Amino acid sequence: MLEAYGFGLFALPRYTEAKGGARGETWHLRHHLPSMSEGYLTQSFVEGNRFVLYEGRKPWMSTGLFEVESHAWHVQAAHGLVVVAGLGMGMYAYAVSQKPEVTQVVIIERDPRVAEVLEQAATFSNWPGRAKIQLLLADALDEDLAAKVALFTGGEAADYFYSDIWPVTPDASAPLQAKAMVERLAPKAAGWWGQEFNYGAWCLKQGREADEESLRDYFAGWAMPVPVTAGYLAFCRDLLAANRAYLAPRKEASGFWRRLFGR
């Protein structure tokens, strides 16, 4: 990826299984044995050593290649003051907090039990970049989000805002919800998890090619300040080519396994 697009995979925390309560009732992290999987861009392969974060029986996030490839661009784009909606397994925060050009990371998380599980599973408090990370317990969709974030940033606009609050992708509500968060926070640049899938699905529905004009038109339509580089355009183009059948307009399918096993 690095050679082809100018950004690539990143290091992950070391995880162990952890429970935030009785199995099936709250958040817990489980280890899965090797099995067939797919990446965000990479096609079918056998993947092992995958940890999955569940809320009850619902998977929210995993350490699978699908997850890492889908975060890669947003890790690359992070600099200065970074605000993140959704803690999850902390993979994004772990990666960006270790970048020298990132000075502060504010994570918005509505459920304190997620942080408790992350502490048990990956010793969150001892991460190399932990001093840069602040945790704001709030709902990222609250109308007063800006005031809450300002308590941590002194009112300074985020250099990059990343939202990852959806269990599956593409989620039809993600662009609109991301837009609402961006309107409240007014970051200098922003993005949301799975935006390339949303863009690819839009291209197919609109009969547009994956080119610079359509990419800029798509994000402009949502008033999203998404940075666009030649490498990112190539990534979006290749992702659409690899996932055309999956992204083609059709009745929405169950998303249970999309984050657990890729798609």
Global model pTM greater than 0.85: yes
pLDDT at 19: 85
Residue 257 pLDDT level (bands cut at 50, 70, 90): very low
Does residue 259 contact residue 35 with C-beta atoms inside 8 Å? Answer: no
d(CA 197, CA 73): 13
The runs of H, that is alpha helices, within 50-111 are 65-77, 91-97
Instruction: Of 37-46, 59-68, 85-94, 141-150, give the lowest mean pLDDT range.
Output: 37-46
Residue 211 Cα to chain centre, angstroms: 23
pLDDT score of 250 more than 70: no
> Domain segments of the chain: what residues?
2-247
CATH of domain 2-247: 3.40.50.720
Rounded average pLDDT over 231-247: 96
Residue 44 pLDDT level (bands cut at 50, 70, 90): confident
Residue 43 pLDDT level (bands cut at 50, 70, 90): confident
pLDDT at 177: 98
DSSP for 182-211, please give it: HHHH--SSEEETTHHHHHHHHHHHHT--SS
Question: Residue 101, Cβ neighbours under 10 Å: how many?
Answer: 10
% of the chain at pLDDT higher than 70: 93
pLDDT score of 25 more than 80: no
Give the contacts of 85 (CB within 8 A, at least 6 positions apart).
Answer: 108, 140, 161, 162, 163, 164, 165, 181
d(CA 119, CA 115): 6
pLDDT score of 45 more than 50: yes
**What is the tens place of the pLDDT at every residue in 189-225?**
999 999 999 999 999 999 999 999 999 999 999 999 9
Interhelix angle 145-153/174-185, rounded to 10 degrees, is 50
d(CA 67, CA 127): 20
Opening angle at CA 154, ends 151 and 159, nearest 5? 110
Rounded average pLDDT over 25-45: 90
Residue 50 Cα to chain centre, angstroms: 17
pLDDT at 23: 47
Residue 181 Cα to chain centre, angstroms: 15
Q: What mean pLDDT, rounded, does the chain reach?
A: 93
If residue 141 lies in a helix (H) or strand (E), which one and from where to where? none
Give me the amino acid identity at 245. A
pLDDT at 258: 57
**What is the tens place of the pLDDT at every residue in 106-144?**
999 999 999 999 999 999 999 999 999 999 999 999 999
Tokens 């390339």 found at: 196
Give me the amino acid identity at 235. F
Give the contacts of 171 (CB within 8 A, at least 6 positions apart).
Answer: 194, 198, 255
